[in-house]
Chains A and B, each alone.
Chain A
């Protein structure tokens, strides 16, 4: 009956073990989060200056990207390319003040900004442009593919860069300015770094209107670049604050913790209406949807079928379901963005009229059985399956389109079903195996003649989504590539649109808008019109002015 001392000892061991584990965990927490090194004093919180704009970002990963060597996702306004794409299909100068193009569209000469300097004080020269191309290619950086067409870059003098392409390419400017685009990196910084893929850049040396200040605990702070060679910002800085939950972003805006929230839903916009000091604007046509055909699959291989179906898409109803945006009236190009590239003769050809559709189907050899089901020219009942990918899924766009199509196409005797795919590869496979699919994309892809290459078959693009392969169209695409003259390009773009209107590989449905809400008591100058779909676009940021 000895008192159980061994049990007591055990108990002490267990308690001690638990305590040790907890202490270790605490140490990890303190060390990793940096709290351990912080001062524990109750210092009074100093506030940042009132004319720094605070913008929410939804993911911390977008601002902790390591290698600025073209991995994307770096803070806005720090890095610049040679040019920035403009709204009207033209290009704003950035590091290149002007440019010349050889008649064969093979040699491009850029005249660089003479007063541009890197944020560490080193002047920007052509050597940086050349270095960017060479370094990306020699280190096999993923985004080097954007520069595949570049043969070499030469520097006749520090403020001139001559780009020689492997083959003629009139859309080269588009190539280097559109997403992902290419920004110029500082030679003096990167040339000593042998492995940029695994290098964590913490300095972010750029030439843009903003310079990197710090990345701390869920905030990234950029300050105005007072040495900027172009239009200087009027705000003293930009703070990006990580707010992962969209609802919290809206609450933070209401609490005046942040100055702007982009991409809010029409419902949220409605609830914000009338809030004091909150204003909203709509960026038109930031997304687009289409009902596309796979010309390699029956019945979409029958031109009459495609033509008939182009009259069986109720674009007004679909667009009203979206709450923002409007039906598109043209083939593929979006008028508000592509402007003069839109062929006026092809506007307004997809009138919604089910009896017209019925007539065209009849003349294409389709019939109906006793129950009203559509029979194909082969005598079998026509059934369609639409594969749905992840694109357009988040906004519910796909569902809205499908619900309207189902209703209308059933009236034509077509049974429609859908299958959803989470994986891109499987989705692509499914697109290839079905006659009809839906697509959605940012409208930057619908804004100029170069965007029309999506429908072509070229040596670099062996197939397209639509399996559309029209020799006449392909020829136009390769000619346009080699043409530098803008008038010629415009003429050919019109011809291409005529072909698309005749062959109908796709039926454009509608565009959607982006709604932005901002604190009107803090900054003005957000709304720059269509095309500026991002509130972190450096051109938007440099346009802001503090209210007080």
Chain B
């Protein structure tokens, strides 16, 4: 139930939020201690030749006042110029898109599967809350969640890739790519283990949310009412409990999908997967400002877009939420 005017205003707010976002990002990045050229020169030798530093500052306009740099940056962004990475000398946008695409190969199936599995398990567990099976599942999930993702990833590599040799140790293609070119089946084979891991990480998070939501819903009187009406348990679950418990999940899952853009550093490190997570940490370590700005810009776009989408979606699905009702 969306009012057209309200929607317009909402989009306006989103634009403003985006602007604030990139402004904050710009200043935080530029006020961050350390700079690219010093790091780079120190990685080459022990001394830092001042003339090289000065020349670099001048080339990239870093010697100008911060306010001026900011205005130039905003003007460039508005013209669609995202700049060039310090490290790679390449235009930022295609670079990000390329890495993002590889991240998506893992994260898209993983997040979708993870959300579905998490919700199904969470709903089942919440529905049976207090039962032995629920407690068993709940405790398994706690243990799974309590141990860091990195450890699971390493263990998975050890067990499935090293000892059992069911999967490759890492990377995203076999070495035969050098002779016969990229084979999608081969990529899939390399992606299965990281996808499975990532799916289970996403699933545990959704499991908790869904279980809680479900427990809250089945405590409501309308569930008892439904039973009193004579609905069998399956009908109570599907017609009343599940639909109501799913509503709070809509917003959360939308954000998770938007979060894909940040990639997953752990998975990417352990599996040598050339995704956006590694690109980001690397850019952060090297203080590659244009690249970082590009990544955060895209992130802000996705998050704000997701917020908008979540709002619209929620108002479609939940009659109680009326956008534009002031």
Contact A200 B104, beta carbon cutoff 8 Å: no
Interface members, chain A 244-263 (any B CB < 8 Å): 244-245, 247-248, 251-252, 254-255, 257
Tell me if B55 is interfacial: C-beta within 8 Å of chain A: yes
Given A46-B180, A218-B173, A257-B169, does the pair A244, B268 have CB atoms closer than 8 Å?
yes
Tell me which of A97-105, A123-131, A423-431 binds B: A423-431
Contact A45 B176, beta carbon cutoff 8 Å: yes
Contact A72 B169, beta carbon cutoff 8 Å: no
Contact A142 B40, beta carbon cutoff 8 Å: yes
Q: Mark B170-214, 1 if CB is under 8 A from A, else 0.
A: 111111111111111111000000000000000000000000000
Cα A92 to Cα B264 in complex, Å, equals 45
Cα A197 to Cα B59 in complex, Å, equals 10
Q: Which residues of A contact B46 (CB under 8 A)?
A: 441, 445, 454
Tell me if A324 is interfacial: C-beta within 8 Å of chain B: no
Contact A48 B108, beta carbon cutoff 8 Å: no
Interface members, chain A 203-242 (any B CB < 8 Å): 213-214, 216-219, 221, 239, 241-242
Contact A38 B175, beta carbon cutoff 8 Å: no
Tell me if A29 is interfacial: C-beta within 8 Å of chain B: yes
Using a Cβ–Cβ cut-off of 8 Å, how many residues does chain B contribute to the interface with A?
74
Contact A218 B274, beta carbon cutoff 8 Å: yes
Contact B175 A47, beta carbon cutoff 8 Å: yes
Interface members, chain B 41-98 (any A CB < 8 Å): 41-42, 44-47, 49, 51-52, 55-56, 59, 84, 87-91, 97-98
Q: Mark A21-61, 1 if CB is under 8 A from B, else 0.
A: 11001101111111101111011011110000010000111
Q: Which residues of A contact B108 (CB under 8 A)?
A: 22, 25-26, 29
Q: Which residues of A contact B33 (CB under 8 A)?
A: 422-423, 425-426
Tell me if A10 is interfacial: C-beta within 8 Å of chain B: yes
Q: Which residues of A contact B40 (CB under 8 A)?
A: 142
Contact A22 B177, beta carbon cutoff 8 Å: no
Interface residue from A29, A32, A61, A221 paired with B178 (Cβ < 8 Å): A221
A: contact size bracket: 35 or more
Interface members, chain B 3-60 (any A CB < 8 Å): 33-35, 37-42, 44-47, 49, 51-52, 55-56, 59
Contact B90 A216, beta carbon cutoff 8 Å: no
Cα A14 to Cα B46 in complex, Å, equals 59
Q: How far is the CB of A86 from chain B (nearest CB, A)?
A: 19
Contact A14 B171, beta carbon cutoff 8 Å: no
Tell me if B161 is interfacial: C-beta within 8 Å of chain A: yes
Interface residue from B112, B260, B274 paired with A60 (Cβ < 8 Å): B274
Q: How far is the CB of B221 from chain A (nearest CB, A)?
A: 23
Q: Which residues of B contact A242 (CB under 8 A)?
A: 171, 272, 274
Q: Which residues of A contact B45 (CB under 8 A)?
A: 178-180, 445
Interface residue from B89, B102, B112, B161 paired with A197 (Cβ < 8 Å): B89
Interface members, chain A 108-151 (any B CB < 8 Å): 140, 142-145, 148
Tell me if A13 is interfacial: C-beta within 8 Å of chain B: yes
Tell me if A198 is interfacial: C-beta within 8 Å of chain B: yes
Given A214-B178, A248-B170, does the pair A148, B49 have CB atoms closer than 8 Å?
yes
Q: How far is the CB of B238 from chain A (nearest CB, A)?
A: 15
Q: Which residues of B contact A445 (CB under 8 A)?
A: 45-46
Q: Which residues of A contact B274 (CB under 8 A)?
A: 60, 218, 242
Tell me if A188 is interfacial: C-beta within 8 Å of chain B: no
Q: Which residues of B contact A395 (CB under 8 A)?
A: none
Cα A197 to Cα B33 in complex, Å, equals 25
Contact B170 A243, beta carbon cutoff 8 Å: yes
Q: Mark A493-532, 1 if CB is under 8 A from B, else 0.
A: 0000000000000000000000000000000000000000
Given A14-B317, A46-B180, A142-B37, does the pair A28, B100 have CB atoms closer than 8 Å?
yes
Contact A245 B313, beta carbon cutoff 8 Å: no
Q: Which residues of B contact A198 (CB under 8 A)?
A: 84, 89-91
Given A71-B89, A219-B177, A248-B170, does the pair A32, B100 have CB atoms closer than 8 Å?
yes
Contact B88 A61, beta carbon cutoff 8 Å: yes
Cα A22 to Cα B309 in complex, Å, equals 14
Q: Which residues of A contact B34 (CB under 8 A)?
A: 422-425
Chain B residue at smallest Cβ distance from A199: B89
Tell me if A474 is interfacial: C-beta within 8 Å of chain B: no
Cα A35 to Cα B190 in complex, Å, equals 13
Cα A494 to Cα B310 in complex, Å, equals 74
- Of B37, B51, B112, B181, the most chain A CB neighbours within 10 A belong to B181
Q: How far is the CB of A241 from chain B (nearest CB, A)?
A: 7
Q: Which residues of B contact A148 (CB under 8 A)?
A: 49, 51
Interface residue from A40, A64, A144, A239 paired with B184 (Cβ < 8 Å): A40
Interface members, chain B 90-125 (any A CB < 8 Å): 90-91, 97-102, 104-105, 108, 112
Q: Which residues of A contact B112 (CB under 8 A)?
A: 22
Q: How far is the CB of B280 from chain A (nearest CB, A)?
A: 12
Contact B176 A48, beta carbon cutoff 8 Å: yes
Q: How far is the CB of A17 from chain B (nearest CB, A)?
A: 8
Interface members, chain B 234-253 (any A CB < 8 Å): none
Given A29-B101, A423-B33, does the pair A38, B183 have CB atoms closer than 8 Å?
yes
Interface residue from B101, B171, B309, B317 paired with A243 (Cβ < 8 Å): B171
Interface residue from A10, A64, A71, A219 paired with B175 (Cβ < 8 Å): A219
Tell me if B307 is interfacial: C-beta within 8 Å of chain A: no
Q: Which residues of A contact B44 (CB under 8 A)?
A: 72, 179-180
Seen from chain B, the residues whose Cβ lies within 8 Å of a Cβ on chain A are: 33-35, 37-42, 44-47, 49, 51-52, 55-56, 59, 84, 87-91, 97-102, 104-105, 108, 112, 154, 157-158, 161-162, 165, 169-187, 257, 260, 268-272, 274, 278, 282, 309, 313, 316-317
The 13 listed contacts between A and B (C-beta, < 8 Å) are A25-B104, A25-B108, A28-B100, A46-B180, A48-B178, A142-B37, A145-B55, A221-B178, A243-B170, A243-B171, A251-B157, A251-B158, A251-B169
Known: A45-B186, A245-B154. 6 other contacts (CB 8 A): A28-B104, A33-B98, A45-B174, A66-B89, A244-B268, A247-B154
Kindly list the 9 A-B residue pairs having the minimum CB-CB distance in the complex, ordered from nearest: A32-B101, A29-B104, A45-B176, A145-B52, A423-B33, A180-B44, A38-B182, A46-B179, A423-B34
Seen from chain A, the residues whose Cβ lies within 8 Å of a Cβ on chain B are: 10, 13-14, 17, 21-22, 25-26, 28-35, 37-40, 42-43, 45-48, 54, 59-61, 64-67, 71-72, 140, 142-145, 148, 178-180, 197-200, 213-214, 216-219, 221, 239, 241-245, 247-248, 251-252, 254-255, 257, 422-426, 441, 445, 454, 461
